[in-house]
Amino acid sequence: ETGVTQTPRHLVMGMTNKKSLKCEQHLGHNAMYWYKQSAKKPLELMFVYSLEERVENNSVPSRFSPECPNSSHLFLHLHTLQPEDSALYLCASSQGSWGNEQFFGPGTRLTVL
């Protein structure tokens, strides 16, 4: 595997379910990100981890809980979501310098019923 991978690619869940999104990067980067992309809305930054420490939390509801056990893995734990949380969730990684681009995973399309 190369680059940034995300699983699952598609997820349908009820409002009472608990699920987790997984992201893995094989690039040796030291920063990882979760973004939410809703239809016809800009990309919204949710969380940033740098060297496994959370450095950004952009007022995300507590029903989204991130976890970064090491520099290669990032999880987004979901519980009691709302239908408006249905979106594309993108994971990205980068090296910690302003001159380095982000590499994105293919995303997880989440539908909350």
Partner 1 sequence: AQKITQTQPGMFVQEKEAVTLDCTYDTSDPSYGLFWYKQPSSGEMIFLIYQGSYDQQNATEGRYSLNFQKARKSANLVISASQLGDSAMYFCAMRELTGNQFYFGTGTSLTVIP
Q: Which of 43, 46, 59, 75 binds partner 1 (CB under 8 A)?
A: 43
- What is the CA angle 72-47-99, rounded to 5? 70
**Is 101 an interacting residue with respect to partner 1 (CB under 8 A)?**
yes
| Block residue for tokens 């994105």 | 104
Using the contact rule CB under 8 A, the part of the chain among 16-24, 49-57, 60-68, 74-82 near partner 1 is: 49-57
| Block residue for tokens 């420490």 | 53
Using the contact rule CB under 8 A, the part of the chain among 11-19, 59-67, 72-80, 101-109 near partner 1 is: 101-109
| Block residue for tokens 């952009």 | 58
Q: Which of 5, 71, 80, 102 binds partner 1 (CB under 8 A)?
A: 102
**Is 98 an interacting residue with respect to partner 1 (CB under 8 A)?**
yes
DSSP count for the chain of H helices, then E strands: 0, 11
| Block residue for tokens 């809305």 | 41
